[in-house]
Amino acid sequence: AQLHQLAVAAGLKYFGTAVSEGNVNSDSAYRAIVNNKNEIGQLVPENGQKWDATEPSRGSFSYSSGDIVPNIAKANGQLLRCHTLVWHSQLPNWVSSGSWTKATLTSVIQTHISNVMGHYIGQCYAWDVVNEAVADDGSWRSSVFLSTFGTDYFAIAFKAAKAADPNTKLYYNDYNLEYNGAKTDRAVELVKIVQAAGAPIDGVGFQGHLIVGSTPSRGSLATVLRRFTSLNVEVAYTELDIRHSSLPASSSALATQGNDFANVVGSCLDVAGCVGVTVWGFSDKYSWVPSTFSGAGAALLYDSNFNKKAAWTSVSSVLAAK
Ligand code: G3I
């Protein structure tokens, strides 16, 4: 059996992956797995829908990269997650270094969201509306949005998103929420701020950029997911990868990686309101990890020759056991 099929049989909506726009049309072995909808039931563009790609200069919109992955999902009948609208990174200079009044930056955000979400209307199961607004120490992350609005930009963004596409799930998405520390507390507060402002929020994405041997247990992960579902939002793992800190990985390290993946996927199965799991790439041939964490990597389910790793077997077993 294959992962998306097993995930659906276990009660999830999907098992999916991020897809690299730069490789999906040139690497036929990679593309074949992307196209296998029994294995991969949901896609998300890795980079193409981000602000620097979609509105590189003010009022000038481009969807040539952004459309690549949605068109594949449409052709294959796969679900699509859409990523992302308001984020401090991959934000063009005209936004990040502008000196804005609240009124003008509000209009810039509304124009961006209405154009981009309008372009993809009806296609996205969910949108990551606000991404990574909390720093690892639990403070609000510095950005042009925070310095202009304080925390008021969350509600501005979620309200604009609802107006642009009322039928998609609107998510807050972040990493390191899995550890249930100060950052998690602040993300809980973010959800409450949005709700108190009367703005719509439907979900919280746990990115799940984790480390082999340091991934929390299945029970701890379920506990932290429930902190959010108790606020009446759904949750999902949206960018799962579990990296080895040193390479090459020994066979015991590969087995530990499999356990860690099973704990993450298992925690989603244990929590009503956890809707699915998305890996941030599936093959170690293509991953953002080695270029960001020097010496680390091999964080995914298939090796760089597209052979299934121990982690793939662990994920399939935990799904099949449900
Ligand atoms: O498109 C250019 C290309 O023209 C150029 O030749 C090449 C040379 O470096 O760079 C290409 O752009 C790169 C882009 O990925 C596409 O490959 C950027 O330099 C690189 O910074 C960018 O990295 C992406 C990263 O987000 C940027 O923040 C990663 O692919 C992507 O996996 C990563 O994804 C993020 C999520 O969106 C949010 N959560 C964390 C996650 C991992 O960092």
pLDDT level of residue 113 (50, 70, 90 thresholds): very high
What pLDDT is attached to residue 182? 98
What pLDDT is attached to residue 79? 98
Ligand 1 pocket residue status of 46, Cβ below 6 Å? yes
CA distances from 177 to 10, 227, 274 (A): 24, 11, 15
Closest ligand 1 atom number to CA of residue 18: 32
Ligand 1 pocket residue status of 90, Cβ below 6 Å? yes
Nearest protein Cα to ligand 1, atom 33: 288
- 248-289 tens-digit pLDDT: 999 999 999 999 999 999 999 999 999 999 999 999 999 999
239 a catalytic residue? yes
In the reported structure, the alpha carbon of residue 112 is separated from the centroid of ligand 1 by a whole-number distance in angstroms of 20
> What distance, in Å, lies between the first and last C-alpha atoms of the chain?
14
Ligand 1 pocket residue status of 241, Cβ below 6 Å? no
- Find the mean pLDDT for residues 314-319: 98
* Positive or negative torsion for Cα 295, 173, 279, 275: positive
In the reported structure, the alpha carbon of residue 222 is separated from the centroid of ligand 1 by a whole-number distance in angstroms of 30
d(CA 164, CA 56): 20
Is the bond into 17 cis (omega within 30 degrees of 0)?
no
Ligand 1 pocket residue status of 206, Cβ below 6 Å? no
- 27-41 tens-digit pLDDT: 999 999 999 999 999
- Find the mean pLDDT for residues 89-115: 97
Look-up: residue for tokens 């590189």? Answer: 56
**What residue ranges in 227-288 does DSSP mark as E strands?**
234-243, 274-279
pLDDT level of residue 293 (50, 70, 90 thresholds): very high
DSSP letter (8 states) at residue 236: E
Ligand 1 pocket residue status of 89, Cβ below 6 Å? yes
Nearest protein Cα to ligand 1, atom 17: 22
* Positive or negative torsion for Cα 290, 293, 295, 297: negative
In the reported structure, the alpha carbon of residue 48 is separated from the centroid of ligand 1 by a whole-number distance in angstroms of 10
Mutate which of 27, 46, 84, 177 for ligand 1 pocket (most atoms within 8 A of beta carbon): 46
What pLDDT is attached to residue 200? 97
What pLDDT is attached to residue 226? 98
d(CA 127, CA 81): 6
Ligand 1 pocket residue status of 22, Cβ below 6 Å? yes
In the reported structure, the alpha carbon of residue 287 is separated from the centroid of ligand 1 by a whole-number distance in angstroms of 10
**What residue ranges in the chain does DSSP mark as E strands?**
14-19, 42-45, 79-86, 126-131, 169-174, 203-206, 209-211, 234-243, 274-279
> In the numeric block, which tokens belong to residue 122?
């009806």
CATH classification at residue 209: 3.20.20.80
- Find the mean pLDDT for residues 103-122: 98
Ligand 1 pocket residue status of 47, Cβ below 6 Å? yes
Spatial CA neighbour of 89 closest among 139, 45, 143: 143
- Find the mean pLDDT for residues 296-309: 98
- Find the mean pLDDT for residues 15-26: 98
d(CA 210, CA 293): 12
Kindly state the percentage of the chain with pLDDT values over 70.
Answer: 100
pLDDT level of residue 54 (50, 70, 90 thresholds): very high
Q: What integer best gives the mean pLDDT of the chain?
A: 98
Domains: count for the chain: 1
pLDDT level of residue 9 (50, 70, 90 thresholds): very high
Give the residue numbers spanning the domain of 157: 3-320
What pLDDT is attached to residue 87? 98
> In the numeric block, which tokens belong to residue 134?
């909390």
- 123-151 tens-digit pLDDT: 999 999 999 999 999 999 999 999 999 99
